[in-house]
Amino acid sequence: MKKTIYLLASFLLAQIVFAQQVQKIDKFYLQRENKMSVVLKQKIQTLRSQKISQKWSFNVGYTTAMDRSLTQLAGLKAPGNLGQSIQLQNAKSTKAIQLLPKQTPDAIKKLNSFFVLRRWDWRTRGKVSPVRNQRACGSCWAFATIGAFEGNDRLRNSRSIDASEQCVLNCSGKGTCRGGWWAFDFLINKGVASEARYPYTANDKPCNNSIPKYYKAIAWGYVKGMNPNVTDIKRALLRYGPLAVAVHVSPAFQAYTGGVFNHNVNKSVNHGVTLIGWDDTKRAWIIKNSWGSGWGSTAGYGREKGYMYISYNCSRIGYAAAWVLSKKMPTPRKEDCIPFNPARIKVVNIKRRWKIVDGRSWLKDFGSNRAEAVKALAIMKRYRLNKMCFVGRPNPSMEYYLVNGKSPVGAFPGEDAIRFNPRTIRVQFIKGDWKIVDGRSWLMSFGKKKNEAYEAYAKIKKYGFTHMCFVGRPNPSMTYFRK
């Protein structure tokens, strides 16, 4: 009888708490809770009762993560010889870092500033890739690996890559859907494919080695030992960007919808996440999870859920924290462009050579080919081009045109164009030459000029060109790019 009364009281208390909190619940979670099964209602009610009795400072609700078991979601497995592995890896990483350029005074100043920084969030600086969803596969170890790598690449190369977790899952040898550990060695030794070329399918399949792996890392290491302190983690976070860290996750973690998670469970780590910042006013880390945007909160930034505030030292957060350095791409040089007036340009014959001129200056020489000069003029006027730009001079390896600092847009009647995907192009060294390729087809060849190949790659990315167009082939007298 007493047990029945106790259960009834607990149920009524949970219902009162829910009624009080209903205005605070995210609309997304509220709509889901209206459709909960009886079993899930009981789980949520039990967790809300625990919230009161244990004074949790976070909210729980029906997240999409609760549609799966923790076994499916939490697949991090620490190696048995982790202490020895950390010592060996950090000895290796120390040697690698010594070969890198020394840090600038600004960088050193930033590293020393964490003592006064009350909050740091790499999202506000655009150095965090979007929230992903590992689905019903214990591949959190791969997502944490890639989350740290993508963040550091944004920091070092000022670009937004989308690397393939499926490639890491299938090809790294570091784990499966049943669990694994950090796979940074794979990124150094082999590289990783893009998500576009090797999309995530949430299953264990044989590695597809035919897909090129053109994103690479050059070094990685652990932040001190197995249990680095808050200060050491902050310092590493500022120096390297987002970190891969381990944590123990529980049913309360699975149902987290907002606030500061402080349900401390001192058990073995079982899940990998990406640590992206901190907030000293809350005494909490900011982490990015890989359970999709139907879990968690925005953690104080933007509209996308999938993040969490978690108290310092709670549930072993920060265990085996690891950093990674992406391969540095050559720095693009200042743009080399000649402005001209599209209303004033015309085709003229100068000393038996057909040229496009702007006033007294000539822009392009077509030799004896008047037809190509006329067509090129029509193209320039059609798009109202007003800048002619180069990569490499006096013998440019790439020529492109802009209109008011932007890419020309739209097709030109009768144009000779090659379509490509700017998201999947890459620079590759093929049979002694540096080339820009899209899939198995190459677009441009730069010979031995590696820096110019990367410079051209950066320009295509910057302006979002999708077509490479020609006037006259096989030896075009004009090449231009457009969207």
Catalytic residue ranges: 140, 271, 289
The 3-state secondary structure of the chain, one letter per residue: CHHHHHHHHHHHHHHHHHHHHCCCCCHHHHHHHCCCCHHHHHHHHHHHHHHHHCCCCEEECCCHHHHCCHHHHCCECCCCCHHHHHHHHHHHHHHHHHCCCCCCHHHHHHHHHHHCCCEEEHHHHCCCCCCCECCCCCCHHHHHHHHHHHHHHHHHHCCCCCECHHHHHHHCCCEECCEECCCHHHHHHCCECECCCCCCCCCCCCCCCCCCCCECEEEEEECCCCCCCHHHHHHHHHHHCCEEEEECCCHHHHCEEEEEECCCCCCCCCEEEEEEEEECCCCEEEEECCECCCCCECCCCCCCCCEEEEECCHHHCCEEEEEEEECCCCCCCCCEEEECCCCCEEEEEECCEEEEEECCEEEEECCCCHHHHHHHHHHHHHHCCCEEEEECCCCCCEEEEEECCECCCCCCCCCEEEECCCCCCEEEEECCEEEEEECCEEEEECCCCHHHHHHHHHHHHHHCCCEEEEECCCCCCEEEEEC
